[in-house]
Amino acid sequence: MKLSELRPCDNCGGKIAPIFYVLRISPAVINMRDAHQGVALGEAFGFPLELVEGMGMSGEIGTIAMDEKKDSGKQIMTEIWICQECHMQPINIAEIVERVSERKHDKVEEK
């Protein structure tokens, strides 16, 4: 992290130094067809899901966008910075993510 990259708390706009918290938020998607198939197979044979996962299915039924190896997954991720004071209070993560995403979007349009 560079000095020029520092910014205020994404919730209150206050100072973040010396200790703050970083939350990386990403959408995640479950492939419902694969999930239902796995559950149905387990129920049909009375197998636990761990066994069903070992029976030829990959075991992967979902994706967390920011864990994808492609850059597009990382672009979908939103990083929010929270000061110590806000960290101790209830915060609306959806509102903060929206605000940070808009700011990120504005910066891209400026370029």
Positions that interact with Zn ion (CB under 5 A): 9, 11-12, 14, 83, 86
Strands of 7-93, DSSP E: 20-25, 28-30, 62-64, 78-83
Q: What own/partner pairs with CB < 8 Å and gap ≥ 24 does 38-44 have? A: none
- Nearest-approach distance from CB 103 to Zn ion, in angstroms: 15
Name which of 8 and 27 has its Cβ closer to Zn ion: 8
- Nearest-approach distance from CB 11 to Zn ion, in angstroms: 4
Name which of 61 and 86 has its Cβ closer to Zn ion: 86
Rounded CA separation 106/73 (Å): 19
* Three-state DSSP state, 51: helix
Name which of 61 and 96 has its Cβ closer to Zn ion: 96
- Nearest-approach distance from CB 50 to Zn ion, in angstroms: 42
